[in-house]
Amino acid sequence: ALELIQADVLARYQRLNGDDTWFLTGTDEHGTSVARAAEKLGKTPAQLADEVADQVKHLIKKLNISNDDFVRTTDKERHWPSVIKLWNQLIDNGDLYKKEYEGLYCVGHEAFIKKSDLVDGVCPLHKTKPETVKEENWFFKLTNYKNEIKNKIESGELEIKPESKKNELLNLLGDAEDVSFSRPASKLKWGIPVPNDPESTLYVWADALTNYISALDYASDEKKFNEYWPADVHLVGKDILRFHAMIWPAMLLSVGLKLPKSIYVHGFINVDGQKMSKTVGNVIDPFKIIEKYGADVVRYFLLREIPSDQDGDFSEEKLIARYNGDLANGLGNLVSRVATLIENNMDSELIYSSSVIDEELKKAVVRIKEKYGRAIDNFLLHEALASVWELISIANVYINDHKPWALAKEDKAEFLTVMTNAVFLIYTLSNFLLDPFVPETARKIREVFGAEEKISQIDGYKFIIKKTTPLFPRLIAKS
């Protein structure tokens, strides 16, 4: 859920800025781990893949994710042709060769790993013992490209954020070897057959990484592909960085395609200080949390509480504290106060005039918008949200200092000025700053103030207050 929400913020922000934006997500459905999981459940791999894809699509809908496309790697019509085309290009360029190999295979990673990577004999991430395999596989000449990839990362041509992950990747590149790109079909049938070699099945990452270009019809639609490639951003978990920042760039370099411009790396969600684990029994069901608190509350908590580039902790206690402190007392209270004052003292209408906007407030909005944009551009979404709440605090302080409830009785002209300034701040929040992060909340605020999503001419615009229930009624944590 975290990755989907983070990607959605990036996409919505770019659209808000008027950029032509194409947001892709999907499911990686092949490989040994999927085949074995299906077998344990008494299902075929295809059945399990269908179920998981449906669950992901349902989660996307529940979280209000604005993706433009969804690609499944089992899609023989959309995905497979581009995989086959890319494989054949790698063959033609002499970057694939066959050899017998013996090594340790981590099913969780779907990758060969080194003995030196193990901790007490097990994979440190999946806590499982790797399998010793000896087989004849196709290998990709990653070593042909690792120096070029290193140069592109160091120069910033291929940007990796955060900096710590960039340094980690550069260290990995130094020891990088050629990569196994197939498994024997006798051991792995659940995958794409290697072209012209029915005894081999494509390595899952050679297949899955290609989704970025198969979604753009790389095999058949040059115009569409050139319109959106190279990608501006790949957003990936820290556990799969090496596949996206080593193997994928090497594949692209081999066939003469441009590299993505940036790779943003996110961390994991822990629960009450522990990594989520079925064994521990602390796996959070996102559907239940969304049903209980609402999509925007979940979006806000994860984006605000968990630094974009680090691991973070989830607990309902923390969520409720954030909800009451930030959403109910901060944003919800601001919207309610301003709407009620206009409703009770101005017949629910305010005609906007920019001539009365306070210069210091204008400067604050410009400063916060700049800080907000820089934070998003640097994949520091938690910092962007913190700047939004800085503006909410400024708005609440402004109202407290100017006491419009008293001005309504003593000085109608000054009351109108103060309320226009308050609406200016709320308009900035609902139509700009909040929209990428909590889109449904932004829509509800616009609805309360009778504001359109896009207002071409703000001067003279009539804001009409509509009665509504509180945006965020306070919650009481149950012990």
Same domain, 208 and 351: no
Same domain, 232 and 351: no
Residue position matching structure tokens 């920019």: 354
The count of domains in the chain is: 2
274 falls within a domain: no
* DSSP conformation class of 119: B
Distance CA 176, CA 188 (A): 25
Decide which of 237, 266, 295 is a domain's last residue. 266
Same domain, 243 and 352: no
Residue position matching structure tokens 């910033």: 156
DSSP strands (E only) in 226-374: 233-237, 262-266, 269-271, 274-275, 312-314, 349-351
Same domain, 254 and 325: no
23 falls within a domain: yes
Q: Which domain holds residue 409?
A: 316-464
Cβ pair 110, 225 in contact under 8 A: no
Which CATH number characterizes residue 459's domain?
A: 1.10.730.10
Same domain, 237 and 354: no
Same domain, 76 and 173: yes
Return the half-sphere exposure (C-beta side, CA atoms, 13 A cut-off) of residue 362. Answer: 7
Cβ pair 35, 335 in contact under 8 A: no
Alpha helices in 378-411 (DSSP H): 381-402, 404-410
Closest CA to 73 of 194, 193, 214: 214
Distance CA 204, CA 181 (A): 8
Strand partners, 103: 133
Indicate the burial class of 99 (C-beta count within 10 angstroms; 0-12, 13-18, 19 or more). exposed
- Note the pLDDT of residue 237: 93
303 falls within a domain: no
477 falls within a domain: no
Same domain, 27 and 137: yes
Same domain, 330 and 214: no
Same domain, 22 and 115: yes
272 falls within a domain: no
175 falls within a domain: yes
Distance CA 160, CA 166 (A): 5
Please give the chain's pLDDT, 479 residues, in tens.
899 999 999 999 999 999 999 999 999 999 988 999 999 999 999 999 999 999 999 999 999 999 999 999 999 999 999 999 999 999 999 999 999 987 787 776 666 677 767 776 777 766 778 877 788 999 999 999 999 999 999 999 999 999 999 999 999 998 899 999 999 999 999 999 999 999 999 999 999 999 999 999 999 999 999 999 999 999 999 989 999 999 999 999 999 999 999 999 999 898 877 776 555 567 789 999 999 999 999 999 999 999 988 999 999 999 999 999 999 999 999 999 999 999 999 999 999 999 999 999 999 999 999 999 999 999 999 999 999 999 999 999 999 999 999 999 999 999 999 999 999 999 999 999 999 999 999 999 999 999 999 898 999 999 999 987 899 999 986 65
SS3 content of the chain, % helix, strand, coil (to 5): 50, 15, 35
Other CB atoms within a 10 A radius of the CB of residue 98 amount to 14
Other CB atoms within a 10 A radius of the CB of residue 362 amount to 13
Residue 127 DSSP SS3: coil
Closest CA to 80 of 223, 227, 219, 249: 219
Strand partners, 100: 136
Distance CA 93, CA 144 (A): 11
Which CATH number characterizes residue 86's domain?
A: 3.40.50.620
Same domain, 261 and 373: no
Distances (CA, A) of 112 to 87, 103, 106, 159, 248: 20, 7, 6, 26, 16
Distance CA 355, CA 136 (A): 76
Structure tokens at 247: 């193997």
302 falls within a domain: no
306 falls within a domain: no
Same domain, 320 and 257: no
Same domain, 258 and 327: no
Residue position matching structure tokens 């005609």: 351
CA 110 to chain centre: 23
Residue 274 DSSP SS3: strand
- What is this structure's pTM? 0.92
Distance CA 215, CA 198 (A): 25
Cβ pair 429, 448 in contact under 8 A: no
Decide which of 233, 266, 299 is a domain's last residue. 266
